[in-house]
Structure 1
Amino acid sequence: MAPRLGRRQRTAGPPPGSGHSRRSVLAALGGLGALGAAGCTRVADAAGANGGDLLDRLRAQGVVRLGIAGEIPFGYIDKDGRLTGEAPELAKAVFKRLGVGRVQPVPTEFGSLIPGLNSQQFDVVAAGMYVNPDRCEQVIFADPDYRMLDSFIVRKGNPKGLHDYKDVVAKKARFATGTGYAEIQYAVEAGYKESDILIVPDQVAGLNAVEAGRVDVFAGTALTTREVVKKSSKAEATKAFAPLIGGRPHVDGGAFAFRPAETRLRDAFNAELHQLRKSGELFRILRPFGFTKAEMTDLTAKELCGG
């Protein structure tokens, strides 16, 4: 999704050869966000027993502000300068059905998404964020729109035979993962010393570290690892696996996050999400970004929050 860190969890950039550096992606997003912010004050917090009035205000304004983290394939600027990714495209579909015709990106680092949401810098977190109990104490989540396993980036042929976190510990592999990734805690859970973990900005930097021999393995989601190694002649992605939490296999789920007072908006979003899942439209939206049917899910936010 689940430990305190996460995806999700993560700040990441475009794959090699995309023509966009992580910095350029965030700069482009920043420009879009600034344009929207110029004529708009921060959204007022709508606490109240009725579940908040943000949905009504979004319908009146005709636009919803999405907190995103500039991460392929979850939310990014493509080569034509267009905002896309699984979360923005899903947001467009859901909010259109809710009577809100336009989405506006507000870029930030992944670790600033929840603080930014709760300080009213944007209306919704749309970044494929993993649902976990600690986050559930700070925000409310829609049900997950996808499930995800982990995978490693290793040298071609996987010379050290690294297939899960226990292997990394047993073989004393040099281990890297991304800033704020859930994989940090998964490695620690397996017995890896946190101070020995190399933290890099994203999966592209992780791939580079493996290719250069600075580390033996980079851990990320199965989706991001398999996408980023496609153009590499030196590295490969391992078979997806479920990390162990408390000795039990754990599967993460990514979802949209809302301010705690806005239960009415969250519930309306959930209702439309479930309809999209039932019709098959959800998979059609996510498939172009590398998602497979194996990553569709019936997990609920309540389950992942530990409720």
Structure 2
Amino acid sequence: MNGNLKKTFLAAGIAVGMTAVTAQAGQLTDRINSGESIRLGFAVQPPSAYPGDDNQPLGFANAITVGVLKKMGYSNIEPIVTDWGGMIPALAANRLDIVTGGMYILGSRCKNVEFSEPIARQYDGFFVLKGNPKHINDYADIKDSNSIMVAAAGYNNIEAAKKVGVPEQNIMVVPGPTEMLAAVRSGRADAGALPFVEVEHIVAENADILDATDPTLMPDWTINYTGIAFRPDDRDFLKKFNVALADYLGTPEMLDAVKDYSYTAQNLPGDKTTAWACENR
């Protein structure tokens, strides 16, 4: 092979290699490489995720995500507040790059998004009127007492209640925690179902009229694992995110970052993986 022909083949090989590398990069990697921000989406779901001044991303899910991104060298983050039910559609439509919000890793959601490895283990719980007049401690109690449970649209609590046979007419679905609180306070619903960290937050602000149920009285199958959601096209970025997450999760730095959001070492996910949660939840 003469020198010129050899150079031609070499240049072609380099071009093919560069094309292959480019093809493997997802939209988020391309955005970052072009100098654009990482659009971080979340709903108002304290203490998991909520906006502060100038939409500053607060809550334990946001604190962990921002901490991991910082470890990866990324600080150009654009927080975008949306409603809970619109987070996954906005991610799919490329209006968001990462979704936090304290979202459980569920088999139904794993069909539409790619989750990070778990960032938290969470229990379900209820907020009820003072004294728990209907003696509600788990989903079966909703069914057995013919009570009305209120839940937020898109939350796993609806599926959980139906799993134990709670009739659809006994499940009130509203936009979010504010409407849930109003339903229980007015007596239109007997119990509000949420992740327990959110129950604690609501009860703390309404201690004169509400009680929190004991989450340890819930069956084990109601223990869920929270992850951070990405588009399937961004698996390249997610892989790097998971590596940084493994180094960050459970460190003194991370636990200090979430200490004001009802997250303790007991909420660390342990040995459960996203693959396990997608299969079993």
Shift of 1:77: 2.2
Q: Distance in 1 between matches of 2:277 and 2:25?
A: 22
Residue aligning to 2:135: 161
Q: Distance in 2 between matches of 1:48 and 1:170?
A: 57
Is the Cα–Cα contact under 8 Å of residues 184 and 194 in structure 1 kept in the other structure?
A: no
Q: Distance in 2 between matches of 1:295 and 1:143?
A: 14
How much identity, in percent, do the aligned residues show?
Answer: 29
Is the Cα–Cα contact under 8 Å of residues 51 and 81 in structure 2 kept in the other structure?
A: no
> Does residue 228 of the first structure (1) align with residue 202 of the second (2)?
yes
Q: Distance in 2 between matches of 1:272 and 1:90?
A: 11
SS in 1 for 2:228: strand
> Does residue 285 of the first structure (1) align with residue 257 of the second (2)?
yes
Listed as ranges, the matches of 1:259-274 within 5 Å are 259-274=231-246
Is the Cα–Cα contact under 8 Å of residues 204 and 228 in structure 1 kept in the other structure?
A: no
Residue aligning to 2:275: 302
Shift of 1:136: 1.2
Residue aligning to 1:250: 222
What is the TM-score when the length of structure 1 is the normalising length?
A: 0.77
C-alpha spacing 1:183/1:243, structure 2 compared with 1 (3 Å): farther
Q: Distance in 1 between matches of 2:234 and 2:35?
A: 17
Shift of 1:293: 2.1
Q: Distance in 1 between matches of 2:133 and 2:169?
A: 25
Listed as ranges, the matches of 1:208-227 within 5 Å are 208-227=182-201
C-alpha spacing 1:114/1:80, structure 2 compared with 1 (3 Å): closer
Q: Distance in 2 between matches of 1:215 and 1:192?
A: 14
Q: Distance in 2 between matches of 1:53 and 1:180?
A: 26
> Does residue 207 of the first structure (1) align with residue 184 of the second (2)?
no
C-alpha spacing 1:81/1:109, structure 2 compared with 1 (3 Å): closer
Structure of greater Rg: 2
Structure 1: gaps of 5 or more residues: 1-46
- CA-based RMSD of the aligned residues comes to 2.4
Residue aligning to 2:41: 67
SS in 1 for 2:266: helix
C-alpha spacing 1:253/1:51, structure 2 compared with 1 (3 Å): farther
C-alpha spacing 1:48/1:306, structure 2 compared with 1 (3 Å): farther
Is the Cα–Cα contact under 8 Å of residues 242 and 250 in structure 1 kept in the other structure?
A: no
Higher helix fraction (1 or 2): 2
Equivalenced residues, count: 259
Q: Distance in 1 between matches of 2:108 and 2:30?
A: 29
Q: Distance in 1 between matches of 2:261 and 2:72?
A: 24
Match for residue 119 of structure 1 among 87, 90, 93: 93
Structure 2: gaps of 5 or more residues: 1-20
Q: Distance in 2 between matches of 1:81 and 1:269?
A: 23
Shift of 1:91: 2.5
Match for residue 98 of structure 1 among 56, 67, 72: 72
